Amino acid sequence: MQSQDGQLHNLMDFSHRITDQPSVGDHLGRAIWAMGAVINSDLPAGMKKSAQLVFDRALPWAKKAASLRTKAYTCLGLAERLHSDTKDSNLAMNLKELTNSLLECYNYNRSPGWEWFESILCYDNARLSQALLAAYQSLGEKAYLDAAEQSLGFLIKATTIDENFVPIGSDGWYVKGGKRAFYDQQPIEAGGMVETTALAYKLTRSKLYETALRQALGWFYGMNTKSVGVYDDSTGACYDGINQSGLNENQGSESTLAYLLGAATFIENVRKD
C-alpha cells in the first residue's frame, strides 16, 4: 500500500492489517518496476493510469535510496516505461541519473579479480547488471554495456561450477577476499540470472549468455548441486531453494514468481530462436 507521501508499506499480517511504517527499501524499487511493466503493456487504460500514479509518486523517493538494488529495480521500471513513451525526456534523465549512480559504485568497487558493484555478492545479484543492460538498451550509452558485460561475466564465473549454475548462498554470502557460501540457494538468484542473461543475449547474441541462461533455468529442473527439482510440476509452484540437506520444501510466492518469470523469459527470447 502506498502512503500519501509516495512511500510504500511492505508488511501485512494474515488479517490484511498493515504492520509497518512506510519506508524506502527494495520493495519500493520493485513496485516501480512492476508499475513500469504495467504501463508498458496491453492492460486496460484504467489500470495503466493507476500504475502511472503510483510510479510518479514513488519515483522521488527511489532517487534518494541508498540501496543499490532499489536503484537497479527503479532503473528497470524506468526502462520499461520508456519503451511505451520514448520521447519523455524526464524519464530518460532519471534513468541516466540512477544508472550513473550504479556505474559510479561499480567503478569505485571493482578491482582485478573482483568486477562488482560492492565488496560482497549477496542477494538478487544479477539485477545490478540487468539494470545497466536495460539502460543501455534505452539510452545507447556504451559505458553501460561495457560495465554490464564485465560485471555479468564476473558473476557468471563466480556462480558456475562444473557447468552448473550454483547461486551464492544466503548462509554467509560471498565477501571479497573470503569464501563463497554454497547454501542456502534461492530461486530469485536463478530467476534473476535467467532474465539478465536473456537480455544480454538479445543485445549481443553472445553464446556465453545463452549458455549461462540455460544453466540458470536448468537449476530449477535439477541441474544443481543436489540434483533436485526445485520446480514442482505437480503443483506448478516452486520450492524455496536448496539447503545443505536438500530442498527447502516451503513454496513461497516469490520463489514461484521467480521461476515463472524466468521460464516466460526463456520462451519469449531464446526458445523461439
**Is 110 in the same domain as 181?**
no
pLDDT of 7 reads 67
**Is 116 in the same domain as 16?**
yes
pLDDT per residue as tens digits for the range 119-171:
999 999 999 999 999 999 999 999 999 999 999 999 999 999 999 999 999 99
**Is 168 in the same domain as 260?**
yes
pLDDT of 271 reads 63
**Is 90 in the same domain as 171?**
no
Residue 148 lies in a domain: no
Q: Which DSSP helix (H) or strand (E) runs through 238?
A: strand 237-238
Residue 88, preceding bond cis, omega within 30 degrees?
Answer: no
pLDDT of 265 reads 94
Residue 230 lies in a domain: yes
Residue 135 lies in a domain: no
Residue 141 lies in a domain: no
**Is 112 in the same domain as 13?**
yes
- pLDDT for residue 5 is more than 90: no
Distance CA(154)–CA(85), nearest Å, equals 33
Residue 144 lies in a domain: no
pLDDT per residue as tens digits for the range 181-195:
999 999 999 999 999
- pLDDT for residue 13 is more than 80: no
pLDDT per residue as tens digits for the range 212-256:
999 999 999 999 999 999 999 999 999 999 999 999 999 999 999
- pLDDT for residue 64 is more than 60: yes
The pLDDT of 103-119, averaged and rounded, is: 97
Do 78 and 95 touch, CB atoms closer than 8 A? yes
- Nearest CA among 130, 136, 65 for reference residue 96: 136
Distance CA(87)–CA(84), nearest Å, equals 9
Domain's final residue, options 101, 124, 147 = 124
Residue 13 DSSP one-character state: -
Domain's final residue, options 97, 124, 151 = 124
Domain span at residue 43 reads 1-124
**Is 97 in the same domain as 166?**
no
Residue 139 lies in a domain: no
Residue 136 lies in a domain: no
- pLDDT for residue 24 is more than 70: no
Query: Binning pLDDT at 50, 70 and 90, where does residue 273 land?
Result: low
- pLDDT for residue 272 is more than 70: no
**What's the number of domains the chain is made of?**
2
Cα radius of gyration rounded to whole Å, the chain? 18
The pLDDT of 51-68, averaged and rounded, is: 92
Alpha helices in the chain (DSSP H): 26-39, 45-62, 68-84, 89-109, 126-139, 142-158, 187-204, 207-220, 253-266
Mean pLDDT of the chain: 92
Residue 143 lies in a domain: no
Q: For the whole model, what pTM was predicted?
A: 0.93
**Is 174 in the same domain as 228?**
yes
Q: Which residue has the higher pLDDT, 18 or 158?
A: 158
